[in-house]
Amino acid sequence: MTDSTASTRPDDHADDATTNAAELTDEQWRQRLSPAEYRVLRQAGTEAPFTGEYTDTKTVGIYRCRACNTELFRSEHKFESHCGWPSFFSPLAGDKIIELEDNSLGMRRVEVLCANCKSHLGHVFEGEGYDTPTDLRYCINSISLTLEPAE
Ligand SMILES: [Zn+2]
């Protein structure tokens, strides 16, 4: 398993994180996040497909930014894309995320960032023909998210 860093990490950093996450220094991020989390969230890395803890998760709940605890996605917007990463057809309403054009790797993609802490979440693709209400696929790294199961 490759998600051992996520499941063993203490969960006590989240409470104070939301408000001041935007002001953290790089060194503070390194202390706050595991190396694997840091590589994706702060260095725009991508976890290997079909390895993330939420790829096939169907648990009802809210997905929060793992870096700052902001609510980003909801389980009812998650769908089975078979692409190897958690996929959502819509983020939560409001300005929870930022979408930025990303021309790295020689292709045009749209990067998805947490609006609160500017951490990297994944990419959004459109027009792929999935049978979803929006025809959008927010392809998000599991390691960028924390699932809060509904009661
Ligand atoms: Zn965040």
Question: What is the pTM for the complete model shown?
Answer: 0.85
Whether 114 is catalytic: no
Question: pLDDT tens for residues 46-60?
Answer: 999 999 999 999 999
Question: pLDDT tens for residues 14-28?
Answer: 445 555 788 899 999
* Ligand 1: centre distance to CA 49 (Å): 22
Angle CA 97–100–105, to nearest 5: 130
Judged against a pLDDT cut of 90, whether residue 139 lies above it is answered with yes
CATH entry, 4-149, from 3.30.365.10, 2.40.50.140, 2.170.150.20, 1.10.3430.10: 2.170.150.20
Helices (H) and strands (E) in the chain, counts: 4, 9
Any idea where the domains of the chain sit in the sequence? 4-149
Question: pLDDT tens for residues 102-130?
Answer: 898 888 999 999 999 999 999 999 999 99
* Ligand 1: centre distance to CA 120 (Å): 8
**For the chain, what's the residue count?**
151
Running DSSP on this structure, what letter comes out for residue 41? H
